[in-house]
Structure 1
Amino acid sequence: MTSISKTYIENRERVQPNDTNNHATAHGGNVVKWMDEVGAMSAMRHAGASCVTAHISDLDFRRPVPQGDTCVIESYAYETGQSSIRVRVQVYRENPRTGEREQTTDSYFVFVAVDQEQSPVTVPELTANSERCRELRDAALDGEGDV
């Protein structure tokens, strides 16, 4: 069994000119791509197997990420099914010079663990064996469906 905290991953992407739209902010498609990649890493860390995206819900873009800022992507698994792993993914814009940060995007992904033939495989139970794990799980469960 893996604890929720062991699936926690934080990654950063600097928003370069090629990542932007005509408003000089991160293109939404790029943000979703980064979220999907980091979310899949959390799922794979738990499953110990390759994982594919099955569902994205409540994808909420609250604020843009300006060119030159950093996208900070945080993800963690918070619940499992037989072969599925639910992952919360949050994005923040961060000024690389000051460290000022604000949330820009929030979403919930479902990944499915698969074998080499792309067939679903069983995933282990996810545990919340510390206060931090319980807080992360509860925050994800409380936030599902809030748009």
Structure 2
Amino acid sequence: MPRVSDTYLENRWRVQPNHANNYGTVHGGNVMKWMDELGAMSAMRFAGEPCVTASIDRMDFHRPVPTGEVVVIEAFVYDEGRSSVNVHLRAARENPRTGEQEMTTESQFVFVAIDEDGSPVPVPDLTVEGERCRELRERALEWRRDREE
């Protein structure tokens, strides 16, 4: 059974002019696309099957990322259903010269594992063992609880 830490992925995208809006900052649609792509990879690593996006929780953009800076996205699976995979995603802006980061966006996506015909298939149980796995999962569950209040 896959562990939370087995599904942890992190990727970086340098914001280029073609990623920017009229204000010289990354277009929110690009950040959402990058989160969706990395989230799907995390879900597939967990499920061992192709996964498609089923839903996206609330997504707030807290600060802009200017052209030339870097968007860092982390993703990990924190829960599962019969065929669904819940992935927590967090984006930060990073100064490419110093590595200094500020959180910009956070959300949770639900993916569904599918077979070659596009029908949902069962996913394994998620294993939460070790301090890192517990910390990641608790962060995701706390974020979800805060949204439900």
TM-score tier by shorter-chain length is over 0.9
Count matched residues. Answer: 147
Correspondence 1:78-97 to 2 at 5 A: 78-97=78-97
CA distance in 2, matches of 1:118, 1:24: 39
Identify the residue that residue 46 of structure 1 maps to in structure 2: 46
CA distance in 2, matches of 1:61, 1:97: 23
**1:111-132 per-position Cα deviation (integer Å, ceiling 9, x unaligned):** 0000011000000000111111
**Structure 1 residues without counterparts, runs of 5 or longer:** none
Identify the residue that residue 69 of structure 2 maps to in structure 1: 69
Identify the residue that residue 144 of structure 2 maps to in structure 1: 144
SS at match of 1:126: coil
CA distance in 2, matches of 1:65, 1:126: 34
CA distance in 2, matches of 1:116, 1:104: 36
Maintained 8 Å contact 1:69/1:96: yes
Identify the residue that residue 32 of structure 1 maps to in structure 2: 32
CA distance in 1, matches of 2:129, 2:100: 32
For the pair 1:120 / 2:145, whether they are aligned, the reply is: no
CA distance in 2, matches of 1:112, 1:96: 35
TM-score normalised to the size of structure 1?
A: 0.98
Identify the residue that residue 6 of structure 1 maps to in structure 2: 6
Maintained 8 Å contact 1:36/1:53: yes
**Cα-Cα RMSD:** 0.8
CA distance in 1, matches of 2:68, 2:98: 12
**1:70-105 per-position Cα deviation (integer Å, ceiling 9, x unaligned):** 000000000000000000000000010111110000
Maintained 8 Å contact 1:43/1:77: yes
CA distance in 1, matches of 2:133, 2:64: 29
CA distance in 2, matches of 1:141, 1:86: 11
Name the structure where strand makes up a greater proportion of residues: 1
| 1:146 Cα deviation from its structure 2 partner | 3.3
| 1:145 Cα deviation from its structure 2 partner | 5.2
SS at match of 1:2: coil
| 1:139 Cα deviation from its structure 2 partner | 0.7
